[in-house]
Structure 1
Amino acid sequence: MRAIVGLTVVICAATLYLYILSSYLPTGPRYPQKGKENGETSDTDQNKESDFTGEEQRLKFPSDLEDLRNLSELLHFYKTEHTGYILLLFCSAYLYKQAFAIPGSSFLNILAGALFGPWQGLVLACGLTTVGSTMCFLLSQAFGKHYITNLLPGKVSMLQRKVEENQSCLFFFLLFLRFFPMTPNWFLNMSAPIVNIPVTSFIFSVFIGLMPYNFICVQTGSMLSELSSLDELFSWTRVLQLLAMACAALLPGFLIRRYSQTHLKLDGPVPSGVARKTQ
């Protein structure tokens, strides 16, 4: 009972903080005035500015590409004069999703690329993924061990057995779990303290193991934010960028797969490719 009360207090406090942070946006920058030489704003600019003003109270986690596009435009609008605030808001929202194992972090990875660019976005996404997953690990360790074991006894027992069998190369086993779909990431984050995975191994396996996935999402967001039309997506430059992204993401998975065939003890055949992640 004490664990449920403690977890409820943490969730309520984090939710209240994020609600206040997203509800009281600072004054947005004035939309650039165009068209009239006498200094009056054109009807189009007034409409855009009023649209952004109307969106101020409707910040929400994106659930599809349309939500993602609208949110990206709104945050870009504020980022011109309130970079620190937008960075704080983005980090808080990302950590909230990761810490409480809420699906949909892939949209935030794409948003990181659109807002902060390919390389700053990648560093930010990898860092936040690691910190957020570690927060989930610690919350589970403090409040959730008993309940997770009772809710998912079969999965926890299987993971415990595989961790014990691969104790001699535990770090590479954890990397394998991040690359391939034996278990979703949210479950691994919550069950890791239950099966006695050391927190240091957990942290480094998250940072390294999810880097290819974060790289693809961030690069995708960066590319989409630069496109002015769909025709640009099929240019030779974009095609080569997509091929390079695919190679960069598949290479670590290929190396881990080769290593797992000779060193790791796994049930069934090893998957042949990098699977879609569930964060």
Structure 2
Amino acid sequence: MIMRKTLFLCALLGAFILAFRFLPPGTLSLDAIKAHQHALIAQVNHAPVQSALLYFAVYVLVSALSIPGAAFLTLLGGALFTPWLGVLLVSFASTLGATLAMLASRYLLRDWVQQRFALQMKTVNAGMAHDGAGYLFALRLMPLFPFFLVNLLMGLTRLGVRRYWWVSQLAMLPATVIFLNAGRALGNITSLRDILSPGLIVAFTLLGLFPLVTRWLFSRYPFSTKK
């Protein structure tokens, strides 16, 4: 088992290094995608299917390896593809990448963490068994929690893969739509702050916390219809 995990870790590091050679620093930046926007649009018009598949593959790779730049890729998707195709590509690519990252974390770290911090993880496991989907939904909607960190932390838990997939896809959809829509006017964007305003961050946070707060209120103050 240790040997297999070591080989898997080496393969993961190798993939990370190859990805950085393929996507060197600065490639996934706002300036870079704006500079190549017209050339990429011409390529999409020339080979739409191949371009969509390549975009999907790159997005999965970036998400799975936790390479910074997924937000800029989403903006680029808004500039390159129609709204419906952009949502389809980004939503499924980001969720697939996130699930692969979570499974890698689970395979490499969960057993060790569960044994090393057995007492603490007992509490975490109980909470996840009770409302794991709610916690994941909240974390996905809170911009303060980075994408890669949520994948890493959820990999340490016993949350089911299917539940992880559909909750992630649902919770990440609002931000996906907002970034894709912003990408349609890519030339007017100077930084991500133009998209994620403080008010929008607060709104996402409240939306993520709403199911958890509602459940807590109903458990603490049960409402009965009996007279």
Q: Which one has more relative contact order, counting CA pairs under 8 Å at least 6 apart?
A: 2
Whether 1:121 and 2:79 are equivalent positions in the alignment is no
Q: Deviations over 1:249-270 (max 9, x none)?
A: 97775444333224259xxxxx
| Residue identity opposite 1:101 in structure 2 | S
Higher gyration radius (CA)? 1
Unaligned runs of 5+ in 2: 218-227
Change over 3 Å in CA distance of 1:160–1:187 after alignment to 2: farther
Query: In proportion to residue count, which structure has more helix?
Result: 2
Rounded to whole Å, the distance in 1 between the matches of 2:20 and 2:56 is: 10
| 61 and 96 in structure 1: CA distance in 2 versus 1, 3 angstrom threshold | farther
State the shift of 1:65 in Å. Answer: 1.8
Partner residue of 1:191 out of 126, 141, 153: 153
> Contact between 2:60 and 2:97, CA under 8 Å: does it hold in 1?
yes
Q: What does the per-residue CA deviation read over 1:198-229, in whole Å, with 9 as the maximum and x for residues that have no partner? A: 1111111110111111111111101226x7xx
Provide the aligned C-alpha RMSD in A.
3.7
Partner of 1:4: 6
Q: Does structure 2 conserve the Cα–Cα contact (< 8 Å) formed by 1:179 and 1:210? A: yes
1:67/1:161 CA distance change after superposition, 3 Å: farther
The number of aligned residues is: 207
- 1:191 partner letter: L
Q: Give 1:10 shift.
A: 4.5
> TM-score, normalization: structure 1?
0.61
- Relative to the length of structure 2, the TM-score reads 0.73
Query: What do the CA deviations read for 1:149-181 (whole angstroms, capped 9, x no partner)?
Result: 49xx89x98787445235323212211111125
C-alpha distance 144-170 of structure 1, shift in aligned 2 (>3 A): closer
Deviates further, 204-213 or 81-90: 81-90
Q: Does 1:257 align with 2:219?
A: no
Unaligned runs of at least 5 residues, structure 1 = 23-57, 231-241, 266-279
Distance 1:9 1:96, change over 3 A: same
2:99 aligned residue: 134
State the partner residue of 1:207.
169
Q: Percent identity?
A: 20
Aligned to 1:73: 38
